Chain A
């Protein structure tokens, strides 16, 4: 009898342990779904819900505050998502909060995110509707990511080529390690500083000069401030204008002359540009020179001829006499 009682106790313990494990497990599963706490129902309308299902979590500020209760297609462009939010936490959610659909990590389940409102409105009430934002489109995101990856690959290639060029001897980087250049650069900077100081002094002087001119001091000031001088300057400028016009006319004449020179039908152009004519002229000049030499020999032969010898002697005497008279006249005071 005692043995049977012992069996019953041990069996009772076993069944109790199993039942307790079952009840605790059911409670933990149910509490996650809000089965043991009072909830309010809030809805939000989306164009598309991106795979959201009843039972997905609803998060507010990163904390699970409820679950998706039901999805209903209202019309061809609206899906209504009804959410069961725990009443004790729904008091913190404002009526102007924004609802969006996200996912739990990159590969996680879909969930509804409630972004806090600005606090100007009261807490959302049972049966209330929240505004929505467009859910994140994973396909579009991946497409953008793909383009970004391609761009990144191109940039990386360019960077690699740039780095290779920079690492070559004689590149810009050598300048950074050149100590001589650094010393020269430092000297240049000192000189630049000196030049800047001088420029500053010159600027100050120029400012003083301009101030004097404005005040009518000095020749330039007088010129700027005196009406008579102004008239004279105007006259001078007018004359300069006339001179400029004359020069312009002269330049026009020169231009026309130059145009004439460049005219292929003109003589000057033929002489300067036509190589055939130039060759003819050159040959003619050579013939002339040859003819001149022959004529010179003939003249010398003529001077020795008895018929003309007298004439040449008389001419020589007359020339000598004229030279003597000129010399005497130059030596007298």
Chain B
């Protein structure tokens, strides 16, 4: 017998929800495994078509401009704020030990090794990944991709390969620039309380930095860029369910991309440690 509330609506079926939990979990796990498998296959397809004689250079340049140049202001502002805030926040701690002269070196190492790569990649996952998911998703639901196939254009090579290559190559450039901007912001942060010349500051910074600080961080940025591009394209390229699916594609591109970045960062730290570069 169906229960009815005073306003005539049906009460939530708690018992049924709990009873359905194992099947929901199973669906979640199988869905996750299916996503991982399909993403891997999507990446394999990218690698098969990544280097091709008919490379879409014009589209690639356009994507580099969008994903690199147009992302720089957002990444630059974020890097500036991060460098400044990190310096100001770290100052009381190092001041307690009378080690304010080590502040530039400490913040610079933090920025170069971790802050700039991860923050830039997260910003990239938010801006680039979501736009890719939404753009390719809307193309998918409006059957523009199918139309490209009909017209004889390889939509994967035109849409996916160019985008993934652009993010893979632009994210490291963005990270290098955000390193520079964050270090400059650190100098400003140091000079809020102290009076340190730029000459002395950059010497302190580069005196403390090693290749082992910069190179692993720089190399992992290529993986971050690849992850942002491949996830964004995969979510958009596999969109279903009409306009609702476009929103889901954009959303899941950001979430999955960010999660992948953190997982890759964890792996990168372990690999760096194994190689003795920490």
Contacts and interface: CB of A to CB of B under 8 A. Distances in A.
A307 to B, nearest CB: 133
Contact of A55 (B64, B65, B206, B210): B210
Contacts of A22: 173, 176, 218
Contact of B206 (A4, A17, A28): A28
Contacts of A29: 206, 209-211, 214
Q: Which of A19, A29, A33, A55 has the most CB of B within 10 A?
A: A29
Contacts of B72: 14
Nearest to A6: B65
A145 interface: no
Contacts of B207: 32
For chain B, the bracket of interface size reads 20 to 34
Interface string B209-227: 1110010001000000000
Interface in B60-100: 61-62, 64-65, 68-69, 72
Given A8-B61, A33-B211, A17 B177 contact: yes
Contacts of A17: 177
A10 interface: yes
Contacts of A15: 64, 68, 173
Contacts of A21: 176-177, 179-180
A180 B58 CA distance: 108
B210 A18 contact: no
B136 interface: no
A15 B210 CA distance: 24
Contact of B174 (A4, A11, A13, A18): A18
A10 B206 contact: no
Given A8-B61, A29-B209, A29-B210, A14 B69 contact: yes
Contact of B61 (A11, A26, A33): A11
B206 A32 contact: yes
7 contacts: A7-B61, A10-B69, A11-B68, A18-B173, A21-B176, A29-B206, A30-B211
Contacts of A28: 202, 206
A30 B69 CA distance: 28
A315 to B, nearest CB: 126
B69 to A, nearest CB: 4
B179 A11 contact: no
Interface of B: 58, 61-62, 64-65, 68-69, 72, 172-174, 176-177, 179-180, 202, 206-207, 209-211, 214, 218
B139 to A, nearest CB: 21
Interface of A: 4, 7-8, 10-11, 13-15, 17-19, 21-22, 25-26, 28-30, 32-33, 55
Given A29-B210, A32-B207, A7 B173 contact: no
Given A29-B210, A55-B210, A18 B177 contact: yes
B226 to A, nearest CB: 17
A28 B218 CA distance: 16
Given A11-B69, A14-B69, A25 B176 contact: yes
Contacts of B218: 22
Given A18-B173, A19-B173, A10 B210 contact: no
A25 B69 contact: no
A200 B207 CA distance: 76
A18 B176 CA distance: 6
Contacts of B210: 29, 55
Contacts of B177: 17-18, 21
User: Which 6 A-B pairs give the minimum distances between C-beta atoms?
Assistant: A18-B173, A14-B69, A28-B206, A11-B65, A21-B180, A7-B65
A18 B68 CA distance: 10
A33 B214 CA distance: 14
A104 B190 CA distance: 22
